[in-house]
């Protein structure tokens, strides 16, 4: 599967930086999936769940983010949000 460079920046940290196969973000009108070679654009995002699959991984990483935006250009995706944290439900599922 083709991948793209993904960077998720919160106001206080770099949440993720690396290659990913797919990213699903909470857009204002619903979820938006982004894959390699997506059309260049800027997308406003809202509070909600983000999931992405790092390159070479079979499992998604689930996170919760605050408001922000996603900028897509030249097979690079940058998501800038006010907060980002690993999803609590994702952590609970791994415990069982």
Burial class (CB in 10 A: 0-12, 13-18, 19+), 94: exposed
pTM, to two decimals? 0.88
Q: What is the pLDDT of residues 20-55, one digit of tens each?
A: 999 999 999 999 999 999 999 999 999 999 999 999
Q: Is the pLDDT of residue 73 over 70?
A: yes
DSSP letters of 12-49? Answer: SSEEEEEEEEEEEEEETTEEEEEETTPPPEEEEE-SEE
Rounded CA-CA distance 60/74 in Å is: 23
Instruction: Give residues with Cβ within 8 angstroms of 69, minimum separation 6.
Output: 42, 43, 44, 45, 79, 80
pLDDT band, very low/low/confident/very high, at 83 (cuts 50, 70, 90): very high
């Amino acid at each position: 599967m083709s991948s793209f460079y993904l960077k998720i920046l919160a106001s206080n940290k770099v949440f993720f930086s690396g290659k990913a196969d797919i990213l699903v973000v909470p857009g204002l009108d619903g979820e938006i999936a982004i894959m390699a070679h997506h059309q260049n654009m800027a997308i406003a995002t809202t509070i909600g769940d983000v999931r992405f699959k790092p390159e070479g991984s079979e499992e998604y990483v689930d996170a919760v983010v605050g408001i922000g935006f996603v900028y897509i250009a030249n097979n690079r995706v940058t998501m800038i949000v006010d907060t980002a944290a690993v999803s609590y439900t994702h952590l609970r599922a791994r415990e069982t």
